[in-house]
Chain A
Amino acid sequence: GIQVEQSPPDLILQEGANSTLRCNFSDSVNNLQWFHQNPWGQLINLFYIPSGTKQNGRLSATTVATERYSLLYISSSQTTDSGVYFCAVDRAGNQFYFGTGTSLTVIP
């Protein structure tokens, strides 16, 4: 299978700070998604981004497929951004490999 590594594993931010989360993967992929798992356990789809750059409000993501990594940027963080951020990839469309996640805590 594809190995997916996320860093950092844990992150504590002051409200208003910016951060960058990284996802490295061990093989070429056709799909890559970033998810936010909120404190209620829901998996919220943030970005579908197998390549290129996308932005959605305070969040943006960039995937460099040739170098096998993706970055998630969070700007002006808010307490509601707290939770675990997962990167997930698949190659053939039938097996999603999840990273171990970055646990983010935003303190007021």
Chain B
Amino acid sequence: DAGVIQSPRHEVTEMGQEVTLRCKPISGHNSLFWYRQTMMRGLELLIYFNNNVPIDDSGMPEDRFSAKMPNASFSTLKIQPSEPRDSAVYFCASRHGQNNQPQHFGDGTRLSIL
């Protein structure tokens, strides 16, 4: 079975540009999570969807960040405009059910903003 699929794997762009990260969760999973990993802050949750509805976006750092889940098989995380401090690895994870199930992580997108 395919795991969580993220694209692109790597993204290098100049500050001020719009960045869109994509995630395809495991089929049948109804919860989706976006995380960011940095050296300074470690792994932190940005936003969480359940049944395509954003439940908790308190981890989204600024209004420059937005996330959508138009259907059960696709989500995007967008940064506009991007800044050098947004450079990080962004992970998407999905889970079946709401509780008491493991989260499965994608391979991440390594984002560098110059």
Contacts and interface: CB of A to CB of B under 8 A. Distances in A.
Nearest to A33: B102
11 contacts: A33-B102, A42-B108, A45-B102, A45-B105, A93-B98, A93-B100, A94-B50, A94-B55, A95-B45, A95-B48, A96-B103
B104 interface: yes
A95 B101 CA distance: 13
Interface residues of A, number: 20
Interface of B: 31, 33, 35, 42-45, 48, 50, 55-56, 89, 91, 93, 98-105, 107-108, 110
B100 A30 contact: yes
A48 B105 CA distance: 13
Nearest to B43: A98
Given A31-B100, A94-B48, A101 B42 contact: yes
Contacts of A33: 102-103
A100 interface: yes
Interface in A69-108: 86, 88, 92-96, 98, 100-101
A45 B48 contact: no
B108 A43 contact: yes
Contacts of A95: 45, 48, 56
A74 B9 CA distance: 30
Nearest to A98: B43
Contacts of B101: 31, 48
Contact of B110 (A31, A41, A96): A41
Given A50-B100, A93-B100, A41 B89 contact: yes
B99 A93 contact: yes
B54 to A, nearest CB: 11
A100 B44 CA distance: 11
A48 B110 CA distance: 26
A62 B48 CA distance: 28
B103 A42 contact: no
Nearest to B110: A41
Contact of A35 (B44, B50, B105): B105
Given A94-B55, A95-B56, A31 B108 contact: no
